[in-house]
Amino acid sequence: MHRSHVDGVPVHRCAEDGELRATLHFGAGVRDETYRTRGVGALVAALAVRETRRRTSETARSVGVSTGTGETAFSVSGRPEDVVEQLAALCVALGELPVDGVADLVGAWEGAVSCLAGPAAAALNARYGAQASGLDGQERTCPWPPTAEMVSAHAATWFTQANAVLTLTGPEPVGLRLPLPEGDRPHRSAPRARYPRASWTHRSIDGVAVSVEAPADSAASDVAHRVFHDRVNAALAERPAPVGPVETAVVPHDSRTVVRLLFTPAPADAIEEVAATVWSHALRLARIAPEQTEVDRHRRDATPLLDIAAHAELFGTPGPDEDGRQRALDAVTPDDVRDAWRQAMNQAQLVVPEGLLLDLAGPDGRRLWCTSCWTWDELPPWGEKFHEPLPRRAFRRSQERHSTILTRDSVVSCTLGPFHTLRFDDVIAVERHGSERVLIGRCGCDIGIDPAWYRGGRRLIRALDEAIPAELAYDCDEERGSHVQPPSRA
């Protein structure tokens, strides 16, 4: 692999015969957005691709783009001269983004936002809340599309030569230029997990997910993750009605840490059994070293070296030392695998669908801690209580009734039994749907308030507007927005 610089951008190339394949990586993903600007990276990418197409010859292949949790990548392939032309045009487009065309790409923005949710995203949202890596899994999203100013600011911060790397496979391109705008390497902070020990919680997923944090350079935790996948896959395949396939993912967290995830789909009537099976295998691997044959099966690193090189440049993760990585894998023992997984399990999180109550043991042998935002076994806090009007209550079943409590520093959504407290300083956005409000919490949940639901509802809305900073609120598009829904049990 050859390493060089072009116009200040690191370039890594693997020489091969045939056509040239290029990927321009940027360390910019959904985790670098906010709830209000969610999808802004997708708009930047869509505008840049459209402008590149306008600037290049009609015979050139179109530029592909992918936007993930932490990275946006533009890919192009073909004759070297065509690739060189398209890369130069793309870089110019990113520096001269035609933001007057933002309104024409609302469909691309809506598609990008709607496709973010998924099992891995839901597990990250449960782990970190509605920020950074957890923003992918934020279920409720009804903002206006980002404004032209937001798009310009995002491009100027994240799509610069200081936050880019180019990977090439094929012949050396002649005359390659990457005229990206200059800029500083953007600062990215990685949030801590919301809870400091092993736990379980709820999200809207059709299955079971487990997430752990592990050192990015730990070959033992890499092997442990793969062994865990194989064991869960084998155990679930033996069920009378098999579920699956079992999926795994690795998401960079910071320069030293990755999040390792496992997800398996399951029907509603099998969730509890599947959760118990998945969790029991996670605990067993942390207590008993695997067989040598299991370790031997996973001694190869399948991650492409060019991807490793790109991530090392962008995020400061371990570099593409192929021999060193293989030596580290060859040195892993079964005891190393057990110890690495045991350490990771100290803060493991099990995620299941809403409505399920689990009774499982944690890594320390005590009952696994529940971190659901809904509280069952306590009385709600004291404050001013807003009930449904009497006529409405008379025609509703008791288990469907709800109320809201307003305290000095929080709003509490109550149903019969559980309640959810959202502190005002944990509100990251407020959607205004006319007289209705939806409060988006950092925890990843939302609380909707319709003044028509309650006696004194308008006074409740005024109190919320006064308690939460005005800069967090914005008006939603009535045609695209959905009306708020009454609270339901998690």
| 5-28 pLDDT, tens digit each | 999 999 999 998 889 999 999 999
Model pLDDT, residue 297: 92
For residue range 293-327, list pLDDT tens digits in order.
999 999 887 678 888 889 888 888 877 676 788 88
Residue 482 has pLDDT above 70, yes or no: no
What are the chain's domains? 2-169 (3.30.830.10), 199-371 (3.30.830.10), 384-475 (2.30.29)
Query: Region 52-69: what's the mean pLDDT?
Result: 83
Q: What is the pLDDT of residue 111?
A: 56
pLDDT tens track for 424-465 = 999 999 999 889 999 999 888 889 999 999 999 999 999 999
Q: Around 223, how many Cα atoms within 13 Å sit in the side-chain half-sphere?
A: 31
Chain-wide mean pLDDT for the chain?
88
Please report the pLDDT score of residue 392 as a whole number: 65
The span from the first CA to the last CA of the chain, in angstroms, equals 51
Evaluate whether 343 touches 198 at the Cβ level (below 8 Å). Answer: no
Confidence bin at 116 (pLDDT 50/70/90): very low
Question: Residue range 468-489: average pLDDT?
Answer: 71
pLDDT for 353-380, tens place per residue? Answer: 988 889 999 999 999 999 888 888 788 9
pLDDT for res 323: 77
pLDDT digits (tens, 9 = 90+) for 125-157: 999 988 888 887 877 656 577 888 999 999 999
CB atoms within 10 A of CB 448: 19
Q: What is the pLDDT of residue 480?
A: 47
Judge whether residue 121 has pLDDT over 80: yes
Confidence of residue 481 (pLDDT cuts 50, 70, 90): very low
- Which pLDDT tens digit goes with each residue over 175-192? 999 999 999 988 887 888
Is-contact 12 166, C-beta < 8 A? yes
| Rounded percentage of the chain residues whose pLDDT exceeds 70 | 90
pLDDT above 90 covers a percentage of the chain that reads: 55
- Contact residues for 359 (Cβ-Cβ < 8 A; gap 6+): 367
**pLDDT score for 477:** 60
Predicted pLDDT of residue 52:
93
pTM: 0.85
**Helix (H), strand (E) at residue 74:** strand 72-78
Q: How many CA atoms lie within 13 A of 404 on its CB side?
A: 27
In the prediction, which pLDDT does 114 show?
A: 47
* pLDDT of res. 398: 53
Residue pLDDT, tens place only, 26-48: 999 988 998 888 889 988 998 99
How many Å apart are CA 311 and CA 292, to the nearest integer? Answer: 31
